[in-house]
Structure 1
Amino acid sequence: MDEKTQVASLSVASNIILTLTKVIVGLVSGSVSILSEGIHSGIDLVAAFIALFAVKESGKPADSCHAYGHGKIENVSGTIEAALIFVAALMIIIEAIKKIQEIIYGNGGHVTDFGLGLGVLIMGVSAIMNWIVSTRLMKVAKRTDSVALEADALHLRTDVYTSLGVLVGLLLIKLTGWTIIDPIIALGVAFMIIKASIDLTKKAFAPLVDVSLPDEEREIIAEVLQRYEDEFVEFHKLRTRKAGAERHVDLHLVVAKYTPVVDVHDLCDRIEKEINERLYITYVLIHAEPCSNRDVECPVEEGLTSSCQSCQVRKPEQGSEVRDRKSESEI
């Protein structure tokens, strides 16, 4: 959790610097593409604060009001960040269209040479800084399975590409003198941001409606269960969901009718432990039930040869069962 907080704080600091610098350079130079990047970084700054809050809150232990923990706070954070990105894209599109109209009607659109040079410099520095910070964020996000940090990393990685796009646009304006390239580049930036917003919404919002874990993770759970298939009859009603970095799994495990409770408990513990080792932060709940509760014929009950070796081995002798009942009544 300390590492998650540290990288989230690093993102906040870098976004403060870049937002202020881009907005100032955009206003001085008159470049709408640089200003649009400033707006984008400003939204990223808000998102970075949200991510910082989310990672701190999600790390709190379960309490009486949140019996299943605070993991979904990260998903809420990611969804809000996706919405903010979309709003930023709309603002950039509006500004770019206004700039195109000004250029067409000859009412503006001039970008100073000084502004071009300064813009190229700040876009280059921005791309490098955001690449370094987003790479760091993504590594920690993958290692800790943090949706909030991954969302923040995606914001900054998008900023890298859009900064490079603006940089290329400014260079083209310098070479050609066509100022209309500036708002066109800004529109391209906006559409890239919208794409990032859609992708992030899909990833962050799905766990809020308890979507099952991905197929590859469900296969891992099935593999673990198959390792112990000689110790139970079958399993069913497997359900999975995710809350932030936490995974929740529950299932029904059918065991042989005469298996002692202590052995069933030990089996469940071993299954839960191995699933947790294979999948990061997984809480497993297993409901064990005897095979006699199933709507199937039991060969042992019918006096036939059993296909379930556990039942044959664990079935008590007839006399011992009577003695056990007698002892219980005496107690």
Structure 2
Amino acid sequence: MTTTTPETAVPRENTTTPLRLRVARLSILVSLVVLGIKYAAWAVSGSGALLSDAIETILNVLASVGTLWAVAFAARPADDNHPYGHGKAEYVWAVIEGVLVVLTALVILAIAGHDALHIQAPEAPLPGALLNASAGVINLIWALILRRMGRTHHSQALSSAGDHVLSDVWASLALLVGVCLIPLLHWLWLDPLLSALVALNVLWTGFGMMRHSMTGLLDEAPPPELVHEVGQTITQAGQGALEAHDLRMRRVGSLYFVEFHLIVPDEMRITDAHDICDRIENAIRAVLGRSSIHIHVEPEDLAKRHKPGASGVLVM
């Protein structure tokens, strides 16, 4: 016998979705403002390094639009074609954004190579650097907000967007220091070198985003500590059952999927077994929050606790 309650058969809509959508929309506005400031910084200074930073910010605008799409699509309720919901859309977009970041890094590297072969002194490095620094401050504040929202509401799209913007902050800081040093040290080669360093930073960020997002697409298990806590919860709430085994868990966005087998006495009535399952499900939700729980009820002769080498067995 397999038991799920109606509310877990089709996961309930995440009540934080409207807030996540507002943050994603605001992210587009912030990225456009930052792009305008960085374009002005390049126009004032003529610095190839600042141009590279502005080009990377164009990607931020496109990424913000993609993040809004991913958050909105992931919020759709389960349907006949997607009975487990649309939560993985955020992971898919995070991988796509990582690819775009890598491609942008390659473009910036090409610009840096061209500038290295045609070195020119920036026209007004200090005003341009100051404008770029102001954009960096805006990005720093917004990156911290995005990362916090992503962690709090389990949004891979917002977390990846925050990581992306934060990488832009470190690049802006390096550019501020470097571009200000050019008129003091007269090292004209420093401008294309900074462009190359920005590109390498962007490249590293892009690969990191793809690697982290792939764990969600491949249904990587939650941390062992959390799995152990859920196992302990099943043991405590499953009084009346004999054993639980083969516990498996995964997370898609803010929704956890939990499944395991529950051994009950042969003489137990179906209604009693169902009551135990309800009690276990409520206890698991108290730990995990929004969850889809699948419990397969089995008779005594399928218990594993007396079988040699059996693992993953929780004795009630």
What is the TM-score with the length of structure 2 in the denominator? 0.87
CA displacement, residues 214-265 of structure 1 (integer Å, 9 cap, x when unaligned) = 3232122112123235432222222222223322111111112222222211
CA distance in 2, matches of 1:189, 1:292: 63
Percent identity for Structure 1 against Structure 2: 30
CA displacement, residues 61-109 of structure 1 (integer Å, 9 cap, x when unaligned) = 1111111111011111111111111111111111111111223xxxxx2
CA distance in 2, matches of 1:88, 1:257: 63
CA distance in 1, matches of 2:137, 2:45: 21
Q: 1:296 to 1:200 in 2, by over 3 A?
A: closer
Q: 1:175 to 1:30 in 2, by over 3 A?
A: same
* Superposed counterparts of 1:205-244, under 5 Å: 205-228=214-237, 230-244=239-253
Specify the SS of the correspondent of 2:188: coil
CA displacement, residues 191-235 of structure 1 (integer Å, 9 cap, x when unaligned) = 221221122112212222222223232122112123235432222
More helix by share: 1
Whether the aligned pair in 2 keeps the contact of 1:99 and 1:183 (CA below 8 Å) is: yes
Q: 1:202 to 1:296 in 2, by over 3 A?
A: closer
Specify the SS of the correspondent of 2:114: helix
* Superposed counterparts of 1:172-211, under 5 Å: 172-211=181-220
Pick one of 221, 241, 266 that aligns with 1:257: 266
The reply to whether residue 75 of structure 1 matches residue 91 of structure 2 is: yes
Q: Which amino acid in structure 2 is aligned with residue 110 of structure 1? A: A
For structure 1, the residue ranges without an aligned partner over 5 or more in a row are: 104-108, 298-309, 311-331
Q: Which moved more, 1:88-97 or 1:214-223?
A: 214-223
Work out which structure has the larger RCO, using CA pairs closer than 8 Å and 6 or more positions apart in sequence.
Answer: 2
Q: Which moved more, 1:182-191 or 1:286-295?
A: 286-295
Q: Which moved more, 1:230-239 or 1:90-99?
A: 230-239
Whether the aligned pair in 1 keeps the contact of 2:238 and 2:277 (CA below 8 Å) is: no
The reply to whether residue 85 of structure 1 matches residue 101 of structure 2 is: yes
Pick one of 126, 140, 148 that aligns with 1:139: 148
Whether the aligned pair in 1 keeps the contact of 2:95 and 2:213 (CA below 8 Å) is: yes
* Superposed counterparts of 1:1-331, under 5 Å: 1-103=17-119, 109-112=120-123, 114=124, 116-228=125-237, 230-294=239-303
CA distance in 1, matches of 2:305, 2:189: 76
Deviation at 1:28, TM superposition (A): 4.6
Whether the aligned pair in 2 keeps the contact of 1:37 and 1:163 (CA below 8 Å) is: yes
Higher gyration radius (CA): 1
Q: Which amino acid in structure 1 is aligned with residue 196 of structure 2? A: L
Q: Which amino acid in structure 2 is aligned with residue 111 of structure 1? A: P
Q: 1:19 to 1:229 in 2, by over 3 A?
A: same
CA distance in 2, matches of 1:72, 1:209: 10
Please give the root-mean-square deviation of Cα atoms over the aligned residues, in Å: 2.0
